[in-house]
C-alpha cells in the first residue's frame, strides 16, 4: 500500500514517515515547491539519508502570490500557511496515481491543520484516504521519539536550511519589498532532520 506523504525534512514529517513505514506502508515523500527556489533539495537530501523515495510537486505561483497577499493583509502568516497546506493536499490528492495522502500535522498544531469536516471533505472530493500519524501525539511524545531516532538540527526559522512552505513565502515577500520579520514571529525555531541517530 503506497502513501504519498507531504514532506519538509523537519522532525514532524520525518517522524510521521517513519511511523507509516513501521505500520506497513510503502512511503513516497513529496515536497511542494513553487519553483522560485530550489530549497526542496534539503528535503530530498534528508529523504535520501533516511532511505525514502522522494519527489517534488510543483504548485502554481498564483497560490504563493495569494498566500502572500493573505500574510500582508493579516500581518501574520497563519492563514497563508493554512491556505498553502490545503492547496498542497488537494494537488497531491488530485494526481491519478494517488490513493492515500499523509502529512506530519500534530495534535497541538493550530496551523496548518485540517479540522474533521475539512479532512472528510478532502477524502470525499478526491476519493483518497487522508492519514495523519501524529494527530494523537503531543509535543513531549514527539520530542522523545525524534530525539531517540534522528539527528536533528534546530535553528531560528530564517536561518535554517529547510524545505517548508515558509521559505518561498518569505522570499516572495522580500521580492515585494516587505520584511518577513514584520510578519513572521521573531525567535521562532524549526527543525531539520540530518539523518538517523547512530549512523
pLDDT at 161: 85
Span 140-161, mean pLDDT?
Answer: 91
pTM of the model: 0.95
Cell of 18: 517513519
Reported confidence tier of residue 146, pLDDT bands at 50, 70, 90: very high
pLDDT of residue 43 exceeding 90, the answer is yes
Check residue 185 and give its pLDDT: 82
Long-range contacts made by residues 118-122, C-beta under 8 angstroms, separation at least 24?
Answer: 118/86, 122/89, 122/90, 122/93
Query: Which letter, b or e, does each residue of 108-135 get, where b requires 16 or more Cβ atoms within 10 Å of its Cβ?
Result: eeeebbbeeeebeebeeebebebbbbbb
Q: What end-to-end distance do the CA atoms of the chain give, in Å?
A: 28
Place of cell 523537519: 10
CA dihedral 23, 163, 106, 99 (to 10 degrees): -50
- Whole-number average pLDDT of the chain: 95
C-alpha count within 13 angstroms, C-beta hemisphere, residue 169:
31
pLDDT bin (cut points 50, 70, 90) of residue 42 is very high
> Which residue stretches of 94-191 are H helix?
116-126, 139-149, 165-175
Q: Does the pLDDT of residue 84 top 70, yes or no?
A: yes
Amino acid at each position: 500500500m503506497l502513501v504519498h506523504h507531504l514532506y519538509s525534512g523537519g522532525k514532524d514529517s520525518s517522524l510521521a514517515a517513519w511511523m507509516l513505514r513501521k505500520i506497513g506502508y510503502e512511503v513516497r515523500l513529496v515536497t511542494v515547491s513553487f519553483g522560485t527556489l530550489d530549497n526542496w533539495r534539503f528535503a530530498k537530501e534528508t529523504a535520501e539519508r533516511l532511505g525514502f523515495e522522494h519527489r517534488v510537486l510543483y504548485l502554481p505561483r498564483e497560490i504563493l502570490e495569494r498566500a502572500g497577499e493573505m500574510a500582508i493583509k493579516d500581518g501574520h502568516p497563519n492563514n497563508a500557511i493554512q491556505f498553502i497546506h490545503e492547496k498542497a493536499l488537494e494537488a497531491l490528492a488530485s494526481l491519478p496515481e494517488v490513493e492515500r495522502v499523509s502529512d506530519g500535522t500534530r495534535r497541538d498544531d493550530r496551523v496548518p491543520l485540517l479540522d474533521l469536516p475539512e479532512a472528510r471533505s478532502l477524502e470525499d472530493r478526491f476519493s483518497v484516504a487522508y492519514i495523519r500519524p501524529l494527530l494523537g501525539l503531543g509535543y513531549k511524545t514527539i520530542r522523545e521519539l525524534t530525539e531517540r531516532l534522528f539527528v536533528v538540527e534546530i535553528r531560528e526559522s530564517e536561518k535554517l536550511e529547510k524545505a517548508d512552505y515558509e521559505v518561498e513565502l518569505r522570499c516572495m515577500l522580500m521580492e515585494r519589498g516587505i520584511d518577513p520579520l514584520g510578519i513572521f514571529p521573531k525567535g521562532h525555531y524549526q527543525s531539520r532532520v540530518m539523518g538517523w541517530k547512530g549512523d
